Structure 1
Amino acid sequence: MSRRVRTTGPAAAAQPARCTVTVCRGCCCGTSKIPGLDHAEQLARLRQALADTAQVRVTGCLDACEHGNVMVVQPSATGRAAGGRPVWLGLVNDSDATADIADWITAGGPGLADPPGILDLYAFTPSRRIRRAVEG
């Protein structure tokens, strides 16, 4: 049984579009190459904090290993209409950063809420080739 949200039909119209958080768990992110962090716990806490607010998905390598652990926060449809664009965050290697990301998304995310200033330290711009693959 699929856990996907329907994107067409009357059921989709009743459900607001939500932010999507893509969490890299490829060759470096989420592995012992980044020590001192319980990666499974990080993902579980993020999913729990955003259960009613955003879709959290896990992907293979995003090819930004120098920034591991990487997360990409894509705006909701409302956030995109308000000018929000995907935000790439790297070095998300502590629970405080994960909590800050969850709080920002709960407040609306890209286009709808200003991120906590500390997240400026985590933001980076990947190459166009990498961005296209994820933001498509």
Structure 2
Amino acid sequence: MSEQGVRERAGGEPVPCRIVVCRDCCCGSPKVPGVDHAAQTARLRAAAPVRISDCLDVCDQANVVVVQPSAAGRAAGARPVWLGLVNDADATEDIVTWVRAGGPGVAPRPDILDLYAFTPPRRRTDP
């Protein structure tokens, strides 16, 4: 295995950022009017692999997009970045641009995305 073996796919390509898009009870629904949810998902998918998630339990932040770092970003210590209220095409484009530049841990987060970033609440696990 090469020195970068952990950071590469089988074909030698770098492992990209991954994006999780919430699409359940609030996000991706008519409860957030004026958003073409399908177009938003397709645009994000053009930049990185996208996984559609059920409710992420932060409905007050709908539409929620989580940018997970690439292998290189994780190696640099990056953690997933949660973005909320991603309800316009400009915000989606800002995410696409950042992900294509390398995303968390590789490329600095554009200042404009600070407006959308939030820390998700810890999930409670009852015994």
Instruction: Flag whether TM exceeds 0.5 (same fold).
Output: yes
Q: Could you tell me which residue of structure 2 aligns to residue 36 of structure 1?
A: 34
- Measured against aligned partners, the alpha-carbon deviations of 1:33-83 in whole angstroms (never above 9, x if no partner) come to 0001111111112212x1xxx211111111110000001001011111112
Q: What is the identity, as a one-letter code, of the residue corresponding to 1:46?
A: L
Distance 2:35 2:85 in 1: 11
Distance 1:72 1:124 in 2: 10
Q: CA deviation at 1:13?
A: 6.3
- Measured against aligned partners, the alpha-carbon deviations of 1:84-110 in whole angstroms (never above 9, x if no partner) come to 111000000000000000000000000
Higher helix share: 1
Q: Could you tell me which residue of structure 1 aligns to residue 121 of structure 2?
A: 127
Q: What is the identity, as a one-letter code, of the residue corresponding to 2:117?
A: A
CA RMSD across the alignment: 1.7
* 1:97 counterpart = 2:94: no
Q: CA deviation at 1:18?
A: 1.4
Q: What is the identity, as a one-letter code, of the residue corresponding to 1:126?
A: P
Q: What is the identity, as a one-letter code, of the residue corresponding to 1:39?
A: H
Q: What is the identity, as a one-letter code, of the residue corresponding to 1:80?
A: R
Which TM-score applies when normalising by structure 1?
0.80
Runs of 4+ with deviation above 6 angstroms: none
Q: What is the identity, as a one-letter code, of the residue corresponding to 2:30?
A: S
Q: CA deviation at 1:127?
A: 1.4
Aligned length: 117
Unaligned runs of 5+ in 2: 1-8
